Structure 1
């Protein structure tokens, strides 16, 4: 007799929920909290005054040669990377790079040096040193060098004045003697003594000693320069 085995059917678990007895079957399902309402979009904040529009921005990058070498990067590569990033984020943006040059050994932070070099109006530019020059006041009979008054004697000022009034003309030593000393004066000098007077005058003029030039074999001469101011009012104060 042949016995045939039939496969056993595995009973799958029922997906039906188990019956619930009692009053809990009528209880409502717990409520989930409602999601918070989306905040209303805020209006953009204007960073520029009314009547103007933002057209771009400037990014100052301070990176000296030593710092760039320490970071193992060249300025050209850094510029290229920043340009590529800008192009990726804002394809419509236009870029311009300018390298700021400064004297070797200039102090201060690199970024501050860059801002000054590129004329950032927000950075106070150091006032250039202006040479106050020399003022020869013929009316008040004094010489001012900057804020200081040169301690000239009466004779030294007369000598300076005589040469200054003949601007552009070589004044001989004999002419100076005849103009500033009487013919019978006991202290009437010779030509060599005039050189001594001029040397003392130049010493008191300091950095402006060369306003009185020596013309070899002829005498002395005054030529006007940008840092020399001559003040004279009324008739010539010269003795002639």
Structure 2
């Protein structure tokens, strides 16, 4: 299967043709046949916005989960904040993508404490109450406990994994063909996870996508430094870092 924007558009069209209602984590029980689209934003918010625009043009709404504790992007920067605002203005929901490895966690209560803290921070930043969370590389502790929150929906709760057919493109690999699952007619409730990072206008290998991302990161850092370091070009030119 291709990891292209064209393929993703095809997937959305097949869902629509087969009568699935695009729902959120808050209203998926209102329709007999529904699908939740979940997107984990692991590396870049720019790619998330690209996917959000595609969905908006097709009248689709979904949920984008962003990390607070990551070295790949900074949601508190002006650039990242504006990207998240654009995603929300397109009608999509922002959720918290929680990385357990950021903390010393030993119990479910530890997880709940830190998740609620991060959700509060993200809510204040976006001026909008965060209502749903997903786990980044979930541990055995998370997977073996159906963790409940007073004011947050846990996307890893049994309702979304046992009562719905879950399929993911993790590591650029669909373990089950999503188009075949949709067309089979065997599942009334679907829970589909994608990672926007993998999707692009052209069909590319994983190696190409990763190398391109790493090279672009160097250019972005140069541009940022140029804005904050006087006469950077007299010391090093952008051409010297482009490979």
Q: TM-score normalized by structure 2?
A: 0.20
Structure with a larger share of its residues in strand: 2
